[in-house]
């Protein structure tokens, strides 16, 4: 046991003496967390109040009639959209060009006969150009749909009044229809902002919006922590190759040290570094990015420990199998990046096809990320993530057995 | 000895190294394939399965579930009890559930205030967001029908006063009429997206990964300058009549040839394996590839010239490549980033290289369409090359 601890301690001291190691263990993951956090947040990555956000909508109003002005007034009244008006006969074409070339996110074109057709009861379509690369047009379109729905209801006031009146008392006079229409429109105006049904969202877990200001980091922090524990862990396989290359392993075996002790020490120091790295990244995530890691420190430790054990086993296996440092480096990169992509560390597995989700669970990353979702997002505890922890430990056992069999000193 | 001997020897060594080939070709192709598996093909996002619960009779809940699912195969709404729905969402078995209020039909007809609750699994933000959107659309339709029919009812009641029989007759008629009338509204919004071919994620990421891994390969190539010194082969070479400029020129030539081969092979492989069309102008594709190769090899050489050991080149270079790839959009779609981020990206080599290839793939741009990218990349290459050559020759 003493020799195991001595070799472990020695390897960790060697690693600590290398200043660049800290950059790779901590600096790069923090930079990645920051960038991916912004990417997932869809905004600045910080405390965003959706009610405060206003989007710009480019408008080409080709209609000389009064109803287009009314439509634009309704849009402005929402206080959600800033209108950027285009003038001139080519405004419609200009709106299309601005969106196509990515200068504007979305544009609304009101056709020239808008008022005339609506007044005569004909159907008419507004043209909404959207840039598929931007997310803003979704919100703009939602607001526009709301206004259009209300205009449609108001437009049916006269027809509804006529149909209902005829049903009960025979055909109404034009004066009656006008009077009734005004009444219905008045009712619609008064009731529209206080509709009978509303939608509310109840999140079942810890991630209530008020608790978690930075939703982007809530995903990127655990995912990047797992990815770098994996990437750095596998890169440590190079050290084993170098130990063989410089014959330090051979020299070690001339001392009264058992093979089992050397192998165990190689697992142990990798595992300790993985746990150290994960702990610091969790603390940085909480303090710098405001990540809520859930209410189960025990669960978090268990998941990182099981994952770290699996990575350590794979690292020793890779170091034992690889013939050169370059081979170990290439294999580590291939394994770490493809496992990260497959296991849902780069994008949520929920948006991928079923076959991809299955493939994501052939590798340890898929299970580790599932456990992170359960702990961090749903607020589950250790009992709920035990299936994932056991699966990760099974991976660790399989890798470790294979690594022990493949371990060689020259 | 001429520079091309050194360049040719370097190229042969690199091409015989299987690990270099893994980094050069296998990794970018594998990652592109994985992304294609995740987001490409016909299968797309997996079905959005959710539950619908309420106190109405079962057939009404089923109708509401069908209404919420909009008849699309992409959505699968199943009736459930509220407790079962809560349990399933809390356990992460379903991304969301919609809880309808008591007496939904009466509520809508009479215009009573009530709430439709969407239970969401916070670990499944995208799918639960889709269910919320469905619920909002469903509720908006019900609200519009409710407001219109009640508006007509109240106005007529005020106009003439309604007997109980008239109230019943009108009530039965109005809600159905309003629902039918709103099915085909007079005013609609027709959406048109920018005219471009459907985005193939593999076509988007193949050039991204090609540029990123080109930089990685160039780093391993550039660091041989230090490795030659560390292994003593440089000193031996200097005993021969070789000028330092010849040595540096040879190193750059070897790197450039390797970079050109790598990027052209990646273009070819992605066409053969993934069917990516790189536009109709082979000259533009070759020009863009050769310019990118020049940029990557010069930048890698500059990093080698600024560092003192092969290990330093590895560390500083890898950090440099990763940061540029992150900022420049080689790892994620930069178009979705906030404005400030997109502006910062324009200072990176990756941004311009990716932008040029994107123009070729998505807009079928010829040489004229990528001149700006070519000028920027060649400008970066020239500056990096002059600096690197000066520093290396002086050292």
- Both B31 and B54 in a single domain? no
Establish if A198 touches chain B: CB-CB under 8 angstroms: yes
Residues in A closer than 8 angstroms to B107, CB to CB, are 196-197
Asked whether residue B339 is domain-assigned, the answer is yes
- Both B103 and B179 in a single domain? yes
Establish if B264 touches chain A: CB-CB under 8 angstroms: no
> What is the ipTM, given to two decimal places?
0.75
Rounded distance between C-alpha atoms, residue B266 and residue B33, angstroms: 13
- Better pLDDT: A351 or B238: A351
Q: Quick count: other Cβ atoms within 10 Å of Cβ B176?
A: 11
What is the tens place of the pLDDT at every residue in B190-209?
888 655 445 677 888 888 88
Q: Which domain holds residue B120?
A: 48-183
Q: What is the mean pLDDT of chain A?
A: 85
pLDDT at A46: 40
Q: What is the mean pLDDT of residues B42-50?
A: 69
Total domains present in chain B: 2
**Whether residue B358 has pLDDT greater than 60:** yes
- Both B172 and B212 in a single domain? no
Q: What is the mean pLDDT of residues A68-82?
A: 87
- Both B214 and B334 in a single domain? yes
pLDDT band at B69 (very low <50, low <70, confident <90, very high): low
Three-class SS state of B123: coil
Q: What is the mean pLDDT of chain B?
A: 83
Task: Tell me which residues of chain B, numbers 6 to 35, contact chain A at a CB-CB cutoff of 8 Å.
Answer: 17-20, 22-23, 26-27, 30-31, 34-35
Distance from CA of B131 to the nearest CA of A (A): 10
Q: Which of B183, B217, B235 is the last residue of a domain?
A: B183
pLDDT at B57: 62
A68 touches A112 (CB < 8 A): no
Residues of chain A with CATH 3.40.190: 54-192
Q: Which residue has the tokens 């296996």?
A: A317
pLDDT at A295: 83
Asked whether residue B195 is domain-assigned, the answer is no
- Better pLDDT: A249 or B369: B369
- Both B324 and B244 in a single domain? yes
- Both B17 and B123 in a single domain? no
Q: What is the mean pLDDT of residues B61-84?
A: 76
DSSP one-letter string for A35-91:
HHHHHHHTSSSS---GGG--EEEEEEE---SHHHHHHHHHHHHTTSEEEEEE-STTH
- Both B161 and B307 in a single domain? no
Asked whether residue B124 is domain-assigned, the answer is yes
Asked whether residue B355 is domain-assigned, the answer is yes
Task: Tell me which residues of chain B, numbers 322 to 341, contact chain A at a CB-CB cutoff of 8 Å.
Answer: 322-323, 326-327, 332-333, 335-338, 341
Establish if A118 touches chain B: CB-CB under 8 angstroms: yes
Rounded distance between C-alpha atoms, residue A58 and residue A72, angstroms: 11
Q: Which of B183, B214, B229 is the last residue of a domain?
A: B183
Asked whether residue B191 is domain-assigned, the answer is no
**Whether residue B327 has pLDDT greater than 90:** no
Asked whether residue B95 is domain-assigned, the answer is yes
- Both B149 and B228 in a single domain? no
Rounded distance between C-alpha atoms, residue B276 and residue B270, angstroms: 6
Contacts of B179 (CB under 8 A, 6+ apart): B145
The CATH number assigned to the domain with range A54-192 reads: 3.40.190
What is the tens place of the pLDDT at every residue in A83-117?
888 888 888 899 988 888 777 888 999 999 898 88
pLDDT at A361: 95
Q: Which of B17, B177, B336 sits opposite A133 (nearest CB)?
A: B336
**Whether residue A271 has pLDDT greater than 50:** yes
Residues in B closer than 8 angstroms to A191, CB to CB, are 111, 147, 150-151
- Both B169 and B267 in a single domain? no
- Both B248 and B129 in a single domain? no
CATH number, domain containing residue B166: 3.40.1710
- Both B100 and B152 in a single domain? yes
- Both B212 and B354 in a single domain? yes
- Better pLDDT: A113 or B16: A113
Three-class SS state of B32: helix
Asked whether residue B188 is domain-assigned, the answer is no
pLDDT band at B42 (very low <50, low <70, confident <90, very high): low
pLDDT band at B122 (very low <50, low <70, confident <90, very high): confident
């Amino acid at each position: 046991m003493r020799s195991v601890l001595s070799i472990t301690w020695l390897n960790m001291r060697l690693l600590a003496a290398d200043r660049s190691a800290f950059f790779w263990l901590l600096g790069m993951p923090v930079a990645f967390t920051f960038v991916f956090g912004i990417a997932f947040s869809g905004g600045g990555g910080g405390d965003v109040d959706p009610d405060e956000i206003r989007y710009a909508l480019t408008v080409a109003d080709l209609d000389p009639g009064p109803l287009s002005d009314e439509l634009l007034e309704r849009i402005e009244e929402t206080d959600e959209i800033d209108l950027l008006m285009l003038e001139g006969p080519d405004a419609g074409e200009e709106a299309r060009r601005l969106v196509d070339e990515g200068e504007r996110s979305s544009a609304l074109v009101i056709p020239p006969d808008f008022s005339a057709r609506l007044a005569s009861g004909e159907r008419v379509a507004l043209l909404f150009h959207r840039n598929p690369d931007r997310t803003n047009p979704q919100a703009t379109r939602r607001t526009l749909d709301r206004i259009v729905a209300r205009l449609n209801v108001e437009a049916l006031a006269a027809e509804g009044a006529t149909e209902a009146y005829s049903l009960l008392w025979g055909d109404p006079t034009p004066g009656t229809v006008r009077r009734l229409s005004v009444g219905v429109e008045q009712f619609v105006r008064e009731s529209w902002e206080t509709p009978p049904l509303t939608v509310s969202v109840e999140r079942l877990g810890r991630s209530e919006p008020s608790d978690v200001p930075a939703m982007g980091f809530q995903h990127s922090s655990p995912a990047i922590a797992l990815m770098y524990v994996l990437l750095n862990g596998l890169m440590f396989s190079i050290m084993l190759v170098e130990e063989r290359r410089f014959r330090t392993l051979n020299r070690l075996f001339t001392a009264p040290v058992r093979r089992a002790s050397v192998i165990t020490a190689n697992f142990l120091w990798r595992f300790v570094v993985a746990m150290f790295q994960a702990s610091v990244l969790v603390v940085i995530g909480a303090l710098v990015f405001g990540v809520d890691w859930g209410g189960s420190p025990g669960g978090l430790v268990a998941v990182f420990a099981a994952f770290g054990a699996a990575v350590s086993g794979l690292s020793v296996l890779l170091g034992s199998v690889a013939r050169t440092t370059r081979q170990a480096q290439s294999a580590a990169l291939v394994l770490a990046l493809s496992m990260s992509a497959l296991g849902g560390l780069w994008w949520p597995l929920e948006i991928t096809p079923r076959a991809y989700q299955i493939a994501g669970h052939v590798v340890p990353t898929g299970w580790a990320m599932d456990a992170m979702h359960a702990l961090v997002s749903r607020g589950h505890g250790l009992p709920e993530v035990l299936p994932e922890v056991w699966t990760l430990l099974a991976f660790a056992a399989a890798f470790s057995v294979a690594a022990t069999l493949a371990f060689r000193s020259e | 000895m001429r520079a091309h001997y050194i360049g040719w020897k370097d190229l042969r060594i690199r091409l015989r190294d299987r690990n270099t080939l893994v980094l050069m070709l296998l990794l970018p192709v594998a990652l592109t394939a994985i992304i294609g598996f995740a987001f490409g093909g016909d299968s797309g996002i997996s079905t959005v399965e959710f539950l619908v619960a309420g106190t109405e009779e079962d057939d009404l809940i089923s109708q509401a579930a069908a209404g919420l699912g909009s008849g699309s195969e992409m959505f699968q709404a199943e009736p459930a009890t509220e407790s079962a729905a809560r349990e399933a969402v809390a356990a992460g078995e379903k991304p969301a559930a919609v809880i309808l209020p008591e007496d939904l039909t009466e509520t809508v007809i009479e215009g009573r205030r009530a709430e439709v609750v969407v239970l969401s699994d916070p670990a499944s933000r995208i799918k639960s967001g889709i269910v919320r959107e469905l619920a909002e659309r469903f509720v908006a339709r019900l609200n519009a029908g409710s407001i219109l029919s009640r508006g007509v009812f109240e106005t007529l009641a005020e106009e003439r006063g309604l007997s109980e029989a008239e109230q019943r007759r009108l009530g039965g008629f109005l809600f159905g009429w309003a629902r039918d009338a709103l099915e085909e509204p007079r005013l609609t919004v027709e959406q048109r997206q920018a005219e471009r071919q459907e985005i193939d994620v593999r076509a988007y990421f193949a050039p991204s990964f090609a540029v990123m891994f080109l930089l990685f390969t160039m780093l391993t190539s550039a660091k041989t300058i230090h490795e030659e010194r560390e292994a003593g082969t440089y000193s031996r070479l200097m005993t021969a009549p070789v000028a330092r400029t010849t040595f540096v020129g040879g190193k750059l030539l070897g790197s450039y040839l390797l970079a050109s081969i790598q990027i052209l092979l990646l273009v070819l492989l992605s066409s053969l394996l993934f069917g990516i069309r790189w536009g109709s102008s082979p000259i533009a594709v070759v020009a863009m590839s050769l310019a990118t190769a020049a940029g990557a090899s010069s930048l890698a050489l500059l990093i080698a010239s600024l560092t003192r050991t092969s290990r330093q080149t590895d560390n500083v270079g890898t950090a440099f490549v990763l940061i540029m790839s992150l900022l420049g959009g080689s790892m994620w779609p930069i178009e979705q980033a906030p404005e400030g981020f997109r502006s910062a990206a324009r200072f990176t080599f990756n941004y311009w290289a990716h932008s040029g290839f994107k123009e070729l793939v998505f807009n079928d741009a010829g040489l004229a369409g990528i001149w700006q990218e070519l000028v920027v990349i060649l400008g970066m290459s020239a500056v990096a090359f002059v600096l690197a050559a000066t520093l290396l020759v002086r050292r």
